[in-house]
Amino acid sequence: MKSSHKNVSLKIASVLMAAAMTASFAACGAGNSSETTAQSATPDTATEAVLATTAESGKKPHSANDITINDTIENSANGEHAILADNETASYSNTKVVKTGDSDSGDEADFYGDNAAIFATNGATLNLSDMVVDTSGKHANAVFSYGEGTTVNVSDSYITTSGNCSGGIMTTGGGTMNAKNLTIETSGNSSAAIRSDRGGGDVNVSGGSYTTSGTGSPVIYSTADITVNNATLTSTASQGVVVEGKNSVTLNNVTLNADNNKKNSDKSAYYQAVMIYQSMSGDAAEGTSSFEMNGGTLTNANGDIFFVNNTATEIKLSEANIVNNDSDGVFLRAAAAGWGSEGKNGGQVSLNAEKQTINGDMIVDAVSNLNLYLKDSSVFNGAINSDGQAGEAYVELSGGSKWVLTGDSYITSLTCDADSIDLNGHTLYVNGVAYTEGTASTGEAIAVVSTGGHSGGAPDKPGEGGGHNDGGTPPAKPD
């Protein structure tokens, strides 16, 4: 193999993104590639500080121009890495990493890190700071943490990927990823900036800017437990966040801008900022998922705010500023779509709002249900199932919370004080009976049973391309 370490002392003038793919999206899978050359990587042992996982509030992320580069590591071989940490502690700083070449196996790349530019595995600890990382191959994730006991700490770095199925930071198999003050930009399809796949792990992101522009490329795709603090997330074609299966996303003081205007699947007719679902591909365990947003801003350009399908979920909102700029979109849609078995694939939602204003309607279809809890002076301006009774919906207001109806609403049960409901000229039907404004009510919540509806065949994943055929919990890497 040919080695290419270029020792330089300069500021990078720019890191050019590859031209955006204009062909129609192809699902993540095995790709064809020709053999090329690769380089081995030598750790910079002078860098030993472990990443602090809490960023200073308001600290600006780096651009490529801000990073002084002292070393360049390039790798162009299919399936190989520019930097590999295997059962060791290694540190790199002020290094530019360039990765070309494809993976011959989508599952090897998505699950086990094949072809990742920077890869840590087998209990390694890898510390990265002041890095510039650029990948342009298919299935060329930039920074990858695989396996229980493996930890990647990456800070103050600039990461770009342009190929399909190429995430910015990627975590699978129970690995840990700690990221601080990164700028990540991905332009390929199925290339989430903060990405996970089978087996998930723990992902902690603080500060920075994370942007995606490809089809099927949400900023966050979670089959893991992902927490983001004090960061800016922007999607220009896909959902802002997708949570699959028994996994979670928590956003604390985050600015999320979502414009989901392209689809890579015909399984759903809806666009949304946040999608929570179960694909039944085997990449995520079945169970109750979680989405939590504390403070910050969510701005949606197209479609709905939340869409829940084929899973049970708990959504927690507290003092978040949520704005939908699409007047035809709803705040929450719990409904069947193409994932799961017909008649069993709705969304089961528990929505907890504390000190929260909610503007927009909620739709709960016949195979879905909703428990809506408005607490601590929360306000809901909207209607529930304004077209008539469909799925079950329970609403509970406490702590001075208020529901101001914007249309006739149909729910199955209600708990409220006498002054909690402002009909605003509309009619609220509770289990088919018109509610009388100014009266208290005591109802009962709906039991939620978390069972994703199974379906035949491997389904498409709305945020990450084609589903995988084999199921199970992540797997140890095969020989």
Q: Is 233 helix (H, G, I), strand (E, B) or coil?
A: strand
Q: Is 49 helix (H, G, I), strand (E, B) or coil?
A: coil
* Structure confidence by residue, pLDDT tens digits, 158-176: 999 999 999 999 999 999 9
406, 383 in Cβ contact below 8 A? yes
Q: Is residue 434 part of a domain?
A: yes
Q: Does an H or E element contain 97, and which?
A: strand 89-99
Q: Is residue 192 part of a domain?
A: yes
* Structure confidence by residue, pLDDT tens digits, 56-81: 433 444 678 889 999 999 999 999 99
Task: Tell me whether residue 424 is exposed, middle or buried, using C-beta atoms within 10 angstroms of its C-beta: 0 to 12, 13 to 18, 19 or more.
Answer: middle
End-to-end Cα spacing for the chain: 23
Total domains, the chain: 1
Amino acid at 341: S
Q: What length does the chain have?
A: 479
Task: Tell me the backbone φ, ψ of residue 27, rounded to 5 degrees.
Answer: -60, 150
Domain that holds residue 189: 5-15+34-455
Q: Is residue 39 part of a domain?
A: yes
Centroid of chain to Cα 262: 16
Per DSSP, the residues of 307-349 read EEESEEEEEEEES-EEEE--TT--SEEE---SSS-TTS--EEE
pLDDT of 54 reads 36
Q: Is residue 29 part of a domain?
A: no
Q: Is residue 475 part of a domain?
A: no
pLDDT of 6 reads 42
Give the CATH number of the domain where residue 100 resides: 2.160.20
Go through 364-391 and write b for each residue having 16 or more CB atoms within 10 A of its CB, e for each that does not: bbebbbbbbbbbeebbbbbbbbbeebbb
Q: Is residue 301 part of a domain?
A: yes
Separation CA 5–CA 43 (nearest Å): 12
Those residues of the chain that have pLDDT short of 70 are 1-62, 279-287, 338-341, 450-479
Q: Is residue 119 part of a domain?
A: yes
* DSSP label of 66: G
pLDDT of 78 reads 97
Q: Is residue 350 part of a domain?
A: yes
pLDDT of 345 reads 76
